[in-house]
Structure 1
Amino acid sequence: MDNSSQVDSSIAVDVVDTLTEQTNVFSDFWNSIDWHSIISSVTASAIQILFFSIFFYAVKKIGNFFIERTFENYRKKKDISTNRLITLYNLTQNLFQSFVGFFLVYAILSAIGIPVGTLLAGAGVIGLALSLGAQGFVSDIVNGFFLLLEKQIDVGDVVDLETVTGTVVDVNLKTTKVKSFDGTLNFIPNRYITIVSNKSREDMRAQVDIRLSPDTDIEKVNTIIKNVNEKLIPQYPEITELPNNLGLIDLGNGHYGIRIVIFTLHGHEFGVQSAFSQEYVTALTQEGIEIPVNPLNVIK
């Protein structure tokens, strides 16, 4: 019994000694930490980060103010299209904010002790390793630069980019955003823009084709068309060239009719086409001119 008690007592003493030793190690480690220096360093870094954040926020606000004032004065003094001005304004804003963001991150990393200079030096090696993968990015930048330099497209232009047709909502050095007529927003890397069909730079054509029966009195039809033109033209100041009646033409598949071509300011061609088509058909029908329609074929 005494031997058992002595063993238990010995084990207890060993456990206590072990815990005491571990506690002493932790205590020594804790006491070895220069908490004053750490707290001072963290406080200094926090103050620097706060200062840089406030400073660059002020720089951003002041820069945006001067950019807006500059473009507003430029708009008043120079003969430049609104679309072109919006494009250059958006590009300038994007570049300015990118620079401000870069230097803010640089300042914050420096404040917390990260060696930014070493990272930038190492970026050369990383850049070399990623050079092949970055070719697409560089192509985007180069192509975007020439798109803007040559004024191929501007914000608000209606364009056809081979596979995408719609209105340009944003142009920058890397991507172009085009909103399709169904509302789809397309993000197109500039390197894929090879052919640009800009429908907003010159007058656009509104074409109206009206089918006629072979026995129709063409002279009567021309007179009706002329009267409709005289009635509608004053209502549409966006018409840049008077309607041109090309006369009787072959519409294909054994059908004939007359074609009227009207040139308008860009963006108005569809409205003018719809209005004149409706008025032509109404006037011809009222005068007893029959307008043929294709029969409906029902497949059973």
Structure 2
Amino acid sequence: MAIYRLASTASSDSSISTDVSKQVVKQTGILDNYIKNIDWDGIITKIITTGISLFLISVLFLLIHSAGKKLITRSFASAKRKESTYSIGRLGTIYTLTQNIFHYCVLFFYFYAILSILGIPVSTLLASAGIVSVALGLGAQGFVTDIVTGFFILLEQQFVVGDTVKINTITGTVHAVGLRTTQILSDDGTLNFIPNRSITVVSNMSRNNMQAVVDIRLDPRKDTNEMRKIIAEVNKKLVPKLPDITNGPKILGIVDLGNGNLVFRVSAYTNHGAQAQTQRILLDHYLQALKAAGFNIPISPLNLGSTA
């Protein structure tokens, strides 16, 4: 009986192994048939043609982008050489904006062509992307606001490239005006990128003549009338050498800065951008003349409270 049981067990194991082998052979045959039925020539041809198409379309758009930017640059360079109703700064602003618009347009059509070559139905995606469009719309609100604000900045001529402005807490020269951001170059060389939507109040210091104010400390031992005469004499000799001064200098006399702090003030109006340099030149010549006349100008302002 034991011998019979061992024989039957061996025969059943042998039949199971045979069934497994048949299953493996059958599945292998199906896989082989599937692989043999694949159109490898068509796939390879498709990959090659698609790769060549992508390469050619990339070269084409690269040439279009390069030629377009060169054409824009030459057009604006020609406009700058000719007499134009637009200022150089405004031409620079429009040039930067035109370059940005052209760049984004070329980029959009390039990606559209790439997706079309890859067989992705762009028009169907755009038509059926209702929820995605809403989501993108919500996310792109800031981007759209930047563009609209930048458009009105240009339309209203709030500032142009080269203007000295104060935007929020940042003061400097307008370096570039783009679709999304305005670039302000500070006096210390820092380039600030300000999103157009955050520009709410603009203080443009390049549109009108600017005021240069010179405050001189008082010598309590000297007569202010003598001080006035010396400053007037300096103005008479110095002003003809300063063509940036458009009005003045006007001697305002003694001014109270608050808390009893007194100074002798002189005011002049200059071309925009020249007020700081004019202020330094006037103050330097005033101090030299007063020192030569025996005035001892204190470092701190005269305080009536401390001298009383």
TM-score, normalised by the number of residues in structure 2? 0.84
With 225-234 and 199-208 compared, the bigger mean Cα shift is at: 225-234
With 127-136 and 264-273 compared, the bigger mean Cα shift is at: 127-136
SS at match of 1:52: helix
Q: What is the CA-CA distance between 1:102 and the residue it aligns to?
A: 0.6
1:53-92 equivalences in 2 (<5 Å)? 53-77=58-82, 78-92=84-98
- Taking a change above 3 Å as real, the CA distance of residues 155 and 123 of structure 1, as seen in their structure-2 partners, is farther
Partner of 1:39: 44
Tell me whether 1:212 sits opposite 2:218 in the alignment. yes
SS at match of 1:59: helix
Q: What is the CA-CA distance between 1:270 and the residue it aligns to?
A: 1.5
Cα contact 1:214–1:256 (8 A) shared by 2:
no
Cα contact 1:209–1:260 (8 A) shared by 2:
yes
With 227-236 and 67-76 compared, the bigger mean Cα shift is at: 227-236
Partner of 1:169: 175
In angstroms, what is the RMSD of aligned CA positions? Answer: 2.6
Once residues 224 and 38 of structure 1 are traced to their aligned partners in structure 2, the CA distance between those partners, rounded to angstroms, is: 94
Partner of 1:291: 297
With 93-102 and 140-149 compared, the bigger mean Cα shift is at: 140-149
Tell me whether 1:108 sits opposite 2:123 in the alignment. no
- Taking a change above 3 Å as real, the CA distance of residues 172 and 11 of structure 1, as seen in their structure-2 partners, is same
SS at match of 1:278: helix
- Structure 1: unaligned runs, 5 residues or longer: 296-300
1:192-203 equivalences in 2 (<5 Å)? 192-203=198-209
Cα contact 2:101–2:179 (8 A) shared by 1:
no
Partner of 1:298: none
Once residues 130 and 204 of structure 2 are traced to their aligned partners in structure 1, the CA distance between those partners, rounded to angstroms, is: 40
Once residues 167 and 292 of structure 2 are traced to their aligned partners in structure 1, the CA distance between those partners, rounded to angstroms, is: 43
Which residue type is aligned with residue 27 of structure 1? D
Partner of 1:229: 235
Out of 26, 41, 48, the position equivalent to 2:53 is 48
Q: What is the CA-CA distance between 1:75 and the residue it aligns to?
A: 1.4
Tell me whether 1:157 sits opposite 2:168 in the alignment. no
- Taking a change above 3 Å as real, the CA distance of residues 197 and 123 of structure 1, as seen in their structure-2 partners, is farther
- Taking a change above 3 Å as real, the CA distance of residues 89 and 229 of structure 1, as seen in their structure-2 partners, is same
Q: What is the CA-CA distance between 1:94 and the residue it aligns to?
A: 0.4
Tell me whether 1:256 sits opposite 2:262 in the alignment. yes
Q: What is the CA-CA distance between 1:249 and the residue it aligns to?
A: 2.5
Cα contact 2:210–2:269 (8 A) shared by 1:
yes
| Deviation digits for residues 175-197 of structure 1 (CA, Å, limit 9, x no counterpart) | 22223444444333322222211
Count of matched residue positions in the alignment of Structure 1 and Structure 2: 295
Once residues 25 and 165 of structure 1 are traced to their aligned partners in structure 2, the CA distance between those partners, rounded to angstroms, is: 75
Which residue type is aligned with residue 38 of structure 1? I
Partner of 1:126: 132
- Taking a change above 3 Å as real, the CA distance of residues 43 and 51 of structure 1, as seen in their structure-2 partners, is same
Once residues 116 and 110 of structure 1 are traced to their aligned partners in structure 2, the CA distance between those partners, rounded to angstroms, is: 7
Cα contact 1:211–1:255 (8 A) shared by 2:
no
Cα contact 2:158–2:204 (8 A) shared by 1:
yes
- Structure 2: unaligned runs, 5 residues or longer: 302-308
- Taking a change above 3 Å as real, the CA distance of residues 223 and 9 of structure 1, as seen in their structure-2 partners, is same
Q: Which has the larger radius of gyration?
A: 2
Q: Give the fraction of aligned pairs with identical amino acids, expressed as a percent.
A: 47
